[in-house]
Homo-oligomer: A and B are copies of this chain.
């Protein structure tokens, strides 16, 4: 009884929240007028952050000084700073799993101790990094050889979710910096296509698999690892090369489950560890990313990624609210979502190699903050989480931007721009723009979203063209109106390097954390993935039973009804067992 009395007020019952709520109701009706506020020469100065490595312009967001003041109060009331400090210092803020949340320790540049249960984790972190460095140097130098004596050239990382999306983003973003002759591919999906297509053209003698699974039990990953083992042994086993040697030379693991790794046949000297305080989706700067990326890019480039992430960690931890990029981005997301009702965000990176930042961010945001109870187990009375999606610019402009500009639904836009190209192409002259310049002319989308085009302006434009009658102009013009006042930000970095790729990774992480701290939810667990897994177990048994029947050369028995709830699944599962689409009769039989 007393415990429940002592619970803090839900954030939406605080004055700070309510003030923002009132402001939001007003601003839904009367948006901050971008044309007006941008007349103020101070607008850009006041609503942008200039740092050494990133420029963040949020002047086209639907905010004014009162709203920013309100958000600052909200950050105080929610104790975002305090919660962040508890994260940085190793407290077990992931309380449902009783774990610390210390991905920042993975890239800490100093030796300052960070303790979990009284034990400094930094030496362990450095130890694993040293192990990765040595290992990657051995492979890249050719000292490490495949079982037939060839140098390893192809790396295939097998992992899914958090063991995949972050490393894949970094690998694509940094591909330009890859060691010559090295390839890196990711196999995630349990669908056999993924493995088959990714390995079709690989020479097994020159290929190494990295199996990435914390528990070494992830169904998809272990199935793919078994397929990889069979593939490799099938290709290389002969009198001189035993399956044992093949596995030990061509497989390494990133895991914490030593016994299972050993049982698979991997030499545990080639197992790279991490810790329970590294969440899957926050693991790209642990061995999960370190091993594949050091083999692909060289350890020094991976270190640059760590440095970029550490720069952002430091910035997040120390910069004041007004100058703190992830803090501002996170609180503005809350403003858009909870107070303006805009809970869809498009991530638009204007550089093709950054195309995988969107799916990674989608995971970080939606898995971290798609929660319905607060850390005290109370139902939240407000929206949490956002839906994040994106394609690289300019591709998206020719696809979904139509809805963003002229749709009824509102989408907040995050533009990421790069001053310099990774691959300079085309002529840059007094008559021509280069490819990269052409790309960046399209950052004009920001102005189109903010300032729009009124009916009168559209009509004036059509009149000036002189092709249409007034009547036709009246009919056409409404289709060409842009309301403007659609919120967007620009994050500008100078170059797309491993350093900035790491910086953007940490930016994504902290931005999501800020929101979780405000919403007072646990951004670091993921109970929502459990029920589906559990129900799949029952279906697996059905398939196994059907397989057994086929082995005995009898007809696999169909299910008539598994239980009252899952009749629809009985129909589809029977279709899977029979290998035929359901017919009217099949459906009736299950009914």
Contact = CB atoms under 8 A, between A and B. Distances in A.
Interface string A479-496: 111110000001011100
Contacts of A572: 55, 57, 417, 443, 490, 492
A81 B249 CA distance: 64
A86 interface: no
Contacts of A224: 435
Interface stretch (A101-109, A133-141, A259-267, A563-571): A563-571
A385 interface: yes
A181 to B, nearest CB: 11
A342 B590 CA distance: 31
Contacts of A219: 438
Best-buried of A38, A366, A411, A420 by chain B (most CB within 10 Å): A366
B435 A96 contact: no
Contacts of A276: none
Interface stretch (A203-211, A287-295, A297-305, A371-379): A371-379
A406 interface: yes
Given A366-B399, A369-B403, A395-B160, A441 B544 contact: no
Nearest to A34: B565
A514 to B, nearest CB: 17
A418 B451 CA distance: 46
Nearest to A39: B564
Interface in A563-583: 564-569, 571-572, 575-576, 579-583
Given A426-B192, A441-B536, A444-B569, A387 B161 contact: no
A429 B540 CA distance: 12
Contact of A405 (B380, B426, B532): B532
A189 B355 CA distance: 11
A285 interface: no
B223 A197 contact: no
Contact of A444 (B35, B363, B492, B535): B535
Contacts of A407: 366, 369-372, 384-385, 528
A386 to B, nearest CB: 8
A387 B411 contact: yes
A278 interface: no
A15 interface: no
A464 interface: no
A377 B572 CA distance: 45
B446 A568 contact: yes
A433 interface: yes
A165 B399 contact: yes
A246 B373 CA distance: 64
A425 to B, nearest CB: 3
Given A196-B425, A482-B531, A398 B433 contact: no
A472 to B, nearest CB: 10
Given A409-B383, A525-B479, A582-B492, A44 B439 contact: no
A204 to B, nearest CB: 16
Interface stretch (A21-29, A117-125, A344-352): A344-352
A445 interface: yes
A548 interface: yes
B372 A591 contact: no
Given A406-B371, A406-B528, A366 B591 contact: no
A557 interface: no
Contacts of A343: 409
A400 interface: yes
Contacts of A51: 581
B430 A548 contact: yes
A424 B191 CA distance: 9
B443 A587 contact: no
Given A190-B439, A389-B362, A544 B371 contact: no
A367 B529 contact: no
A189 B195 CA distance: 27
Given A351-B191, A435-B223, A532 B408 contact: no
A297 B377 CA distance: 55
A10 interface: no
B437 A194 contact: no
B387 A429 contact: no
Given A38-B565, A581-B50, A591-B45, A532 B429 contact: no
A434 B547 CA distance: 10
A466 interface: no
Contacts of A569: 443-444, 446-447
B227 A576 contact: no
Contacts of A59: 568
Given A175-B197, A367-B403, A544 B433 contact: yes
Contact of A479 (B377, B529, B547): B377
A31 interface: no
Best-buried of A34, A224, A391, A537 by chain B (most CB within 10 Å): A391
Given A436-B191, A528-B403, A426 B391 contact: no
A517 to B, nearest CB: 17
> Which 6 A-B residue pairs are closest in the complex by CB-CB distance?
A370-B403, A161-B398, A192-B425, A370-B407, A430-B548, A41-B591
